[in-house]
Amino acid sequence: MREQSKYIKDIRTVSYYSGYITLVTSMLMLIPILTSLLSAEYNVVLDFVISITIALSTGIILIIFGQRASKKLEWKHGLIVASLSWVILMILCAIPYYLSGNTNSFLDAAFDVMSGFTTTGLVLTQNLDHLSLGLNMWRHMLTFVGGQGMVVLALTFLVKDTVGAYKMYVGEGKDIELVPNVKNTAKIIWTISMVYLTIGTLILWIDGMLIGLKPDSSLSHGLFIFMSTWSTGGFAPMSQNILYYHSFSYEIITLILFIIGSLNFGLHYAVWQGKKKEVLKNIEVQSFFITVTLTAFFIVLSLSKLSVYPNAVALFRKGVYSLLSAHTTTGVGTLYARQFALEWGDFSVLMLIIAMLIGGSACSTAGGFKGLRVGVVFKGIIADIRKMLGSERRIKIYKFHYIKDQVLEDGMVKSAAFIIICYMILFTIGTALGTYYGYPALSAAFEAASVTGNVGLSIGITTPTMPSLMKIYYIIAMYLGRLEFISVFVLIGFIFGGVKRLCLRYSRH
């Protein structure tokens, strides 16, 4: 009986904080409402008014339900709040998509929202070139906010008690405290993003006008493309993505933005504090540099051998751009999806799959199993080999630099290897599912890597007509990949615990 009451108390605590996060994120719908009003899209305003009413009501009900509970967060609460909030918000934020009539089903709408939140960038929304400005604003805002994290957003504005806040922050797949207080850490993350939002949008706006877009159109495109590239998202206002602009300058600007966006917020903060050498010493940057250079080398070599592109500049704009887009898990493209399958050859596609799985930096907007883990596991292997070769009496300590000098411990290597294994299992199941539905193995692997690493490049599998089971699996893969498994595992364990208690209770009666 006491256990039962503790479980209810846990549910109330989780409900209270999930309600707050839902409330804050729902308030963001005011921005597309304002955008739609300004552009006289009154039907869209109505869609968002209905959606915000449902979302705010849900948030308030959750808060009221949890109001009497203890506000002190334990580790399990923090992790469950983070993972559960993402599911609740996926459903609520999909309402305006569904009401717009641009998705075939609510599942498609939920897919696009999860794709936005996780900064993946795969799209099932139809008629993309004629979407309302309000809905376009919503799509790109979701990916921008998802990149920094909804918990990070809520921490910035609402939670006064920071005692347990760190536990929710970790639950969202981030673990770096830039300053001792997690609320201020969240504020710094937003400051960095907002500074780049201003600079990036301004540059893209000017460049957009130079390449022939009208000033107002150039501004909205600049803002949307910034939000997408900085968050390593992959959405774009036009169905042709970056290819629509046919501009080398636009490509270079987006390239710079998504590479910077894929870097660790801790690294940004260190550089902004004048610690410029951090860029060269950081294990994650070193790992990123090596893996990008190697995969780019092989892709350029392979595409040159196949004579896919007429000259070196075209090769850079298509080949290297796509590779960087894949490796930073951005997913914006200068190619049509089927070109990967029809023109690139198996080897280049394989290189892209590897790049997508590795991904960007930890505690950034990027996905994948992250350069930090690759670096730590690699250093761990080197350390083990050296230990075997060296004298048994000598104990040597191995170090690496990641914001500060850190000792390489076995636990770190094991935990990094565990997450990499989880990613590989997720990727393998996704590939098997694709082949089960009749897609070629390499194409299925490409799409599975894209969802697992939260990339967003597609080889043509992700369409509204794909099987529903694959859509559901891809949603789960994007979600698990983004939150890095642990918090979702805790949520599943919590739900199963509740079900088990219920079953026991009924069996006793």
SS (H, E, C) 457-470: CCCCCCCCCCCHHH
Distance CA 47, CA 12 (A): 31
Residue 68 corresponds to which amino acid?
A: R
272 binds another protein (CB under 8 A): yes
Can you tell me which of 316, 336, 347, 378 binds another protein, judged by CB under 8 A?
Answer: 316
Is residue 296 involved in binding another protein (CB under 8 A)?
yes
Instruction: List binders of another protein among 201-260 (CB under 8 A).
Output: 252, 255-256, 259-260
Minimum Å distance from CB 379 to another protein? 22
Residue whose tokens read 């006793």: 508
Instruction: Measure CA 31 to chain center.
Output: 22
Interface with another protein (CB under 8 A), residue from 50, 61, 163, 195 = 195
Pick the binder of another protein from 107, 279, 408, 476 (CB under 8 A).
279
Residue 31 or 202: the one with the smaller Cβ distance to another protein is 202
The answer to whether the beta carbons of residues 57 and 95 sit under 8 Å apart is no
Q: How far apart (Å, rounded) are the C-alpha atoms in residues 16 and 37?
A: 33
SS3 labels along 123-186: CCCCCHHHCCHHHHHHHHHHHHHHHHCHHHHHHHHCCCCCCCHHHHHHHCCCCCCCCCCHHHHH
Q: Residue 289 or residue 489: which is nearer to another protein going by CB?
A: 289
Which residues lie closer than 8 Å to 259 by C-beta, 6 or more apart? 324, 328
Q: Is residue 301 close enough to count as binding another protein by CB under 8 A?
A: yes
Residue of the chain from 7, 65, 157, 196 that contacts another protein (CB under 8 A): 196
Rank residues 197 and 243 by Cβ distance to another protein and give the closer one: 197
Residue 84's contacts (CB-CB under 8 Å, 6 or more residues apart) are 14, 18, 491
Alpha helices, DSSP H only, in 273-344?
Answer: 278-281, 283-305, 312-315, 321-327, 337-343
Residues in the chain: 509
Q: Which is nearer to another protein, 142 or 356 (CB)?
A: 356
Tell me, by CB under 8 A, how many residues bind another protein. 33
Residue with Cβ nearer another protein (8 or 195): 195
Closer of 387 and 401 to another protein (Cβ) = 401
Least separation in angstroms between residue 277's CB and another protein is 11
In the numeric block, the tokens 């801790």 are attached to: 266
Q: Under the criterion CB under 8 A, does residue 320 sit at the interface with another protein?
A: yes
Q: Which of the 8 DSSP states describes residue 72?
A: P
- Closest CB 36 distance from another protein, rounded Å: 32
Nearer to another protein, 238 or 260 (CB): 260
Is 300 a binder of another protein (CB under 8 A)? yes
327 contacts 453 by C-beta, under 8 angstroms: no
Residue number, 299 or 466, with CB nearest to another protein = 299
Region near another protein per CB under 8 A, out of 7-15, 136-144, 190-198, 421-429:
190-198
**3 state SS of 10:** helix
Give the shortest CB-391-to-another protein separation in angstroms: 40
Residue 293 binds to another protein (criterion: CB under 8 A): yes
> What residue has token string 């392979």?
302
CB of 278 to another protein, least distance (A): 10
273 sits near another protein (criterion: CB under 8 A): yes
Least distance from C-beta 279 to another protein, angstroms? 5
Minimum distance, C-beta of residue 337 to another protein, in the bound complex (Å): 23
The 3-class secondary structure across 324-393, one letter per residue, is HHHHCCCCCCCCCHHHHHHHCHHHHHHHHHHHHHHCCCCCCCCCCCCHHHHHHHHHHHHHHHHHHHCCCC
**Which of 50, 312, 424, 503 contacts another protein by CB under 8 A?**
312
Nearest to another protein of 92, 188 (CB atom): 188
Q: Residue 282 or 452: which CB sits closer to another protein?
A: 282
Give the binding range for another protein (CB under 8 A) out of 44-52, 141-149, 313-321, 463-471.
313-321
- Amino acid at position 105, single letter: S
Residue 263 as a binder of another protein (CB under 8 A): the answer is yes
Out of 31, 56, 206, 271, which residue is the one contacting another protein (CB under 8 A)? Answer: 271
Cβ-based nearer residue to another protein, 135 or 292? 292
**Cβ proximity of 50 and 95 under 8 Å:** yes
Coil, strand, or helix at residue 29? coil
Q: Where does this chain bind another protein (CB under 8 A)?
A: 188, 191, 195-196, 199, 252, 255-256, 259-260, 263, 268, 271-274, 276, 279, 289, 292-293, 296-297, 300-301, 304, 311-312, 315-316, 319-320, 324
